[in-house]
Amino acid sequence: MPEPCPICAKHRGEGPLVSPVVWADDHVVVTHRPEPDLLGYLFVEPRRHVGGLADLAESEALGIARAVWVAARALRAELDVESVHTFVAGRSAARVHFHQHVFVRHRGTPAGLGWLDVDWAGAPHGDPAALCGRLAPYFAA
């Protein structure tokens, strides 16, 4: 029996990856990374259990593309950011379920930190659920 998918469980509100939901529709779920209250790190995922980018249906791919675009614009509007980054790696424990990372580099991030170093001493922390409430209206069609 295959291991249960942690991202499918998250979409049902169960398991170790449960996190605040920014927005969702029939095809796409956007959540905020729950720990460690680090603001501005989102995951864009198909609702359906799909392994990789090439496995997405066209409607899912278009929905994810729009959600990534909206997420980047919303994060830039709501946080004091230097830039917004996104990637698909497919190497994590949840690699069986496609997920795209969308996250900010906060203004003031030390220049020597790499683009993936999002948690540093001066990084803004706060309530991800409150930020989700501010980001959600940007996803309205």
Binding site residues, Zn ion, CB under 5 A: 5, 7-8, 49, 97
Report the nearest approach of Zn ion to the CB of residue 24 (Å): 14
DSSP state at residue 122? T
Q: Please identify the residue of the shown chain whose CB is closest to the bound Zn ion.
A: 5
DSSP alpha helices (H): ranges in 16-98? 58-78
Q: Are 94 and 17 in contact (CB under 8 A)?
A: yes
Q: Are 48 and 27 in contact (CB under 8 A)?
A: yes
Report the nearest approach of Zn ion to the CB of residue 8 (Å): 3
Residue number with CB closer to Zn ion (1 or 140): 1
Residue number with CB closer to Zn ion (10 or 105): 10
Distance of CA 123 to the CA centre of its chain: 18
Angle at 47 between CA 50 and CA 5, to 5 degrees: 60
Residue number with CB closer to Zn ion (6 or 34): 6
Residue number with CB closer to Zn ion (91 or 141): 91
Report the nearest approach of Zn ion to the CB of residue 109 (Å): 32
- Per the rule left: phi > 0, alpha: psi between -120 and 50, beta: everything else, 11 is alpha
Report the nearest approach of Zn ion to the CB of residue 128 (Å): 22
